[in-house]
Amino acid sequence: MSVGDAPVADPGSPRVRVMSERCGTCDFRRESAGNLAPGQLAALVRECVEDEGHIVCHETGPGKERPGAVCAGFAAHPDAIRSLALRIAAAGAVIAQRP
């Protein structure tokens, strides 16, 4: 499962885009925690990890300035290494995007 409607792979190369830091409204920030229902973020992370997926930064993708990228908050989660996209990025195929 991947949360978000934007691809995070760069079509011109075998690289994965990952945000270099959490954006100001990232759901993984404590001050932004009220954006989701209680337990919703934990459930999304659990589903993504179980399916080797990822969460797309909500400030990237269709209709945004930047193409889709893996959320930095998700990437920092201790279980996120199970994400296929982040394993590819860890192998050195990463394009870091700034918020």
**What ranges do the domains of the chain cover?**
16-97
Taking the complete model, does pTM exceed 0.75, yes or no?
yes
Nearest partner of 57 among 47, 68, 44, judged by Cα? 68
- 41: tokens are 């973020």
CB 94 within 8 A of CB 15: yes
Q: What is the pLDDT of residue 84?
A: 86
CB 68 within 8 A of CB 17: yes
pLDDT in tens, 32-83: 766 788 899 999 999 999 999 999 998 998 888 889 999 999 999 998 888 9
- 11: tokens are 């079509």
